[in-house]
Structure 1
Amino acid sequence: MTTAYDFTLPSLDGGTIDLGALRGKPILIVNTASKCGFTPQFEGLQALWSFYRGNGLTIIGVPSNDFGNQEPGTSTEIATFCARNYSVTFPMAARSHVRGADTLPLFRWIAQQGGLMARPRWNFYKYLIGRDGRLANWFVSLTSPESHRMRVAIERAILDT
C-alpha cells in the first residue's frame, strides 16, 4: 500500500524533500502562496512548527501558483518573502502544481485518499499525515492553523503510536 512516505518533493533550495526520511512521524502539508488573503497563516504554521516539532511533527509548505496566480515568485523570492515576513523555518518545497495535468504525485495521492472534496480548491489547504503515512485529516483554507480543531487533530496524530 502506498503511503505519503513513498513520495519526494522538490525543495525550495534545489534539493529534495524525502518524505520517507520522516517515516513514523506526523506531517502537515500545506499548499501556500505569498500573495493570498490567507498568506498570514504562515505565522500560525510557524507557531505550530515551533510548538510541535519537538514532538515529531514536520510541517512542509508547498508553494503553488495554481490559484489566482498568487505565487508568481522564484524560489529565491519565495524563500526571502517567507523568512522576512513570517520567519518561516519549516521545510518548503519548490513551487509546484497541486491541481491540473502537472499535479505533484503526492497531491494526486492525497486526492485519492481524501476523495473529491479533499482536493485543494484554493491556497492554504492543509493535509495531516498520520504516523502510519496515511491521510489522517484535511482542512480547507478557512481553517486557521491556530484553530482548536487543527490542534486537536495534530495532537491525536502525535499521540497515535
Structure 2
Amino acid sequence: MKPFSRLSLFLTLGAGLFVSSHSGHAQMEPTPPVAPAPSAPDSSALSWDELKKVEFEQRAVFISQLRSMHAKFEADVAALRARFKETNATESQKKAMIELDKAEVDFEEKMKALDNVTAETWETVKSNLLSSWLNLQEAFKQTRPTE
C-alpha cells in the first residue's frame, strides 16, 4: 500500500475516533457522521484553446466536452424557442431564427463526421466542427432583439 493510501485510510478510519473522558477514563468513541462536502465544479473541462489543440488520441475527451457544451446550448435554444412568438417577431428576428436552424443542422452534420474520424482526418473534422460551433453561437446571438 502506498504511503498516501495508508494516510487516507488512517484519516478515514482511524481518525474517525476521538477520546472521551467520562468518569475519568479515556475511551475511544466514534465521531458523529459528517455530511460529505459538495462536489466541486468540473475542473476537467478544457478551455477553448485547449479544446482546439486536442489530438486524435484524446478525441473521447473532445467529443464528451463538445456534447456537454451542446446539451447546455440546446437548453438555451429550447428556452429561446419557448419565448419566441412568430406573430410578435420582427422580420429580422424571423430571419435570425431561420439562420439558427441552418446553423444547428450544420453543427449536427459536423458532429456525425466524428463517427468515422481517423487520425488522418482528425484535424479537418475537428476544425470544421469548432468552426461550426462558433457559427452556431453567432447565429444564436443574432436572434436576440437589438435595443
**Normalised by the size of structure 2, how large is the TM-score?**
0.28
Higher strand share: 1
Give 1 or 2 for the bigger CA radius of gyration: 2
TM-score by length of 1: 0.26
Q: Which has the bigger relative contact order, CA under 8 A and spacing at least 6?
A: 1
